[in-house]
């Protein structure tokens, strides 16, 4: 579609496009700036970039939250001035470094609650710096620029250039940077300054896959290592190809520790696969499956233990789910997904008192499936929970949905042959009218007189 439109525009000719751009520029500042950038010489664009940098440092008017996105667009356009105008890699890197040096002036004059401005530094400026730095032959100079910028990082954006060092610098230059940072850390008397440099060393150590250095730095930084630190060390050893050492660090985590369990399991799964330990891998995948039953976790398990075990696993899990006293919507979804509709109905009826109508998306999906499978009673009970959630919260904006649910209940009621121990539809309507009859805006939408 884009290529088609482009070809159609080309056929219009240069004159028509120039007129259209000039007309658009009357109403759009961005279009006007684009024209200025296109017709300016590279030297003029660079001079404009430098003037804008100086202007940012002198800027006094505060930019509120609502204006921050527009301000971030303005900063992004400034970087474009450099990108289309500067070919020399070292010059380009120096200009982007100068942009980073305005971080204090920029963040002091704007409310960046949404992070739009910060993202310009962390992504747009970083990408452009990496582009120039990777092409620059003077790698030592690039390292010097990065190190000078990171003597301080009061706004947490300059370290993004440390994080991309591995993309544009060889290992020997990075090791020289590490030595420089270590000297700076050793000279620091206060804990914050030392921590700042040690965290930079950690990033560089991970990029060059020096797990031993990463470990030593993490210990120097944290002292006693909590679970998060143990996981990080294990991850870096694994990335460095030292699988057994990575495993030994994970084993230091206390048994039963659930903090960052997802990350623990992710690393263990990769370790077991690399070690070829199918027994431990099977146990891990079985536990992950039990923690959250789904077709995805089932498939991952079956890929290891064999797809011929599917019926055995599914039947066993269905029995466990039906015995469970705690209700999980995900288990109901799983039973439906594997074709266990009777079991899903039984499970939902057993836990009807535990439906949480605030879980709109998941419960509504269950209600629709149960209704489509002619399980009208359980579908009605789910719709009741959704309706009650809206009425009990007095959420007037959702009354139209509540009315829809009540009318759906009216229709389903005619198909329910046995209400079992649950109130029939008329009794339920009597109850909600007694409790919520004064919510006139709801009942007026329902258009049924009591």
* Residue-level pLDDT, tens digit, the chain, 450 residues: 467 787 877 877 777 766 666 677 666 666 666 666 665 566 777 888 889 899 988 988 999 999 999 999 999 989 988 998 899 999 999 999 999 999 999 999 999 999 999 999 999 999 999 999 999 999 999 999 999 999 999 999 999 999 999 999 999 999 999 999 999 999 998 888 999 999 999 999 999 999 999 999 999 999 899 999 999 999 999 999 999 999 999 999 998 888 999 999 999 999 999 999 999 999 999 999 999 999 999 999 999 999 999 999 999 999 999 999 999 999 999 999 999 999 999 999 999 999 998 888 889 999 999 999 999 999 999 999 999 999 999 888 899 999 999 999 999 999 999 999 999 999 999 999 999 999 999 999 987 544
Asked if the structure places residue 1 within a domain, the reply is: no
Burial of residue 67, with CB atoms counted within 10 A of its CB: 0-12 exposed, 13-18 middle, 19 or more buried: middle
Asked if the structure places residue 270 within a domain, the reply is: no
Cβ proximity of 137 and 88 under 8 Å: no
Cβ proximity of 409 and 384 under 8 Å: yes
Provide the domain limits for residue 58: 15-166
Q: Whats the size of the chain, residue-wise?
A: 450
Please state whether the predicted TM-score (pTM) of the whole model is above 0.85. no
Tell which of 114, 141, 166 closes a domain.
166
Tell which of 148, 166, 184 closes a domain.
166
Please say whether the dihedral angle defined by the alpha carbons of residues 109, 115, 120 and 122, taken in this order, is positive or negative.
positive
| Structural domain total, the chain | 2
What's 190's DSSP letter?
S
Token duo for residue 265: 């399991």
Asked if the structure places residue 245 within a domain, the reply is: no
Asked if the structure places residue 6 within a domain, the reply is: no
Asked if the structure places residue 342 within a domain, the reply is: no
Tell which of 123, 149, 166 closes a domain.
166
The Cα 256–Cα 337 span in angstroms is 30
**Alpha helices (H) in 292-359, listed in sequence order:** 295-305, 310-323, 329-337, 341-350
> What are the b/e assignments for 392-428, b being 16+ CB within 10 Å?
eeeeeebbebbbbbbebbeebbeebeeeeebeebeeb
The Cα-based distances of 329 to 290, 298, 309 in angstroms read: 14, 17, 25
Long-range contacts of 320-324 (CB under 8 A, 24+ apart): 321/293, 321/347, 322/346, 322/347, 322/350
Asked if the structure places residue 249 within a domain, the reply is: no
Long-range contacts of 341-346 (CB under 8 A, 24+ apart): 341/373, 341/375, 343/318, 344/370, 345/370, 345/373, 345/375, 345/378, 346/322
Asked if the structure places residue 70 within a domain, the reply is: yes
Token duo for residue 29: 């500042």
Asked if the structure places residue 177 within a domain, the reply is: no
Closest by Cα among 232, 228, 85, 239 to 166: 239
């Amino acid at each position: 579609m884009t290529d088609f439109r482009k070809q159609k525009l080309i056929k219009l000719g240069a004159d028509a496009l120039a007129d259209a751009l000039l007309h658009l520029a009357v109403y759009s500042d961005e279009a006007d700036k684009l024209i200025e950038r296109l017709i300016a010489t590279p030297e003029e664009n660079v001079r404009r970039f430098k003037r804008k940098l100086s202007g940012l440092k002198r800027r006094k008017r505060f930019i509120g939250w609502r204006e921050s996105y527009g301000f971030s667009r303005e900063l992004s356009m400034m970087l474009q001035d450099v990108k289309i105008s500067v070919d020399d890699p070292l010059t380009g890197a120096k200009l982007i470094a100068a942009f980073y040096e305005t971080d204090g002036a920029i963040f002091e004059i704007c409310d960046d609650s949404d992070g739009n401005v910060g993202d310009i530094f962390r992504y747009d400026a970083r990408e452009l710096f990496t582009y120039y730095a990777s092409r620059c032959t003077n790698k030592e100079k690039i390292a010097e620029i990065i190190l000078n910028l990171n003597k301080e990082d009061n706004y947490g954006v300059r370290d993004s250039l440390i994080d991309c060092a591995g993309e544009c610098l060889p290992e020997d230059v990075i090791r020289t940077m590490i030595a420089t940072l270590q000297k700076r850390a050793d000279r620091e008397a206060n804990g914050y300054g030392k921590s700042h440099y040690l965290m930079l060393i950690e990033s560089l150590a991970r990029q060059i896959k020096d797990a031993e250095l990463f470990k030593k730095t993490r210990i120097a930084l944290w002292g006693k290592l909590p679970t998060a630190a143990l996981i990080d060390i294990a991850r870096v050893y694994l990335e460095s190809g030292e699988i057994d050492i990575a495993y030994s660090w994970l084993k230091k985590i206390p048994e039963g520790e659930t903090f960052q369990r997802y990350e623990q399991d992710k690393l263990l799964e990769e370790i077991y696969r690399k070690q070829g330990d199918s027994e431990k891998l099977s146990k891990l995948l079985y536990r992950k499956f039990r923690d959250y039953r789904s077709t995805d976790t089932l498939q991952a398990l079956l890929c290891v233990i064999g797809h011929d075990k599917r019926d055995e696993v599914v039947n066993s899990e269905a029995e466990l789910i039906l015995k469970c006293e705690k209700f999980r919507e995900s288990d109901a979804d799983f039973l439906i997904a594997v074709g266990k509709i009777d079991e899903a109905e039984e499970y939902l009826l057993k836990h009807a008192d535990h439906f949480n109508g605030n879980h709109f998306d998941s419960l509504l999906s269950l209600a629709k499936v149960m209704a489509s499978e002619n399980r009208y009673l359980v579908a009605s009970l789910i719709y009741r929970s959704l309706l009650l959630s809206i009425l009990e919260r007095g959420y007037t904006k959702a009354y139209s949905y509540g009315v829809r649910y009540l009318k759906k209940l009216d229709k389903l009621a005619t198909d329910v042959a046995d209400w079992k121990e649950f109130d029939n539809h008329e009794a339920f309507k009597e109850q909600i009218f007694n409790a919520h009859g004064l919510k006139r805006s709801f009942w007026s939408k329902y258009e049924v007189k009591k």
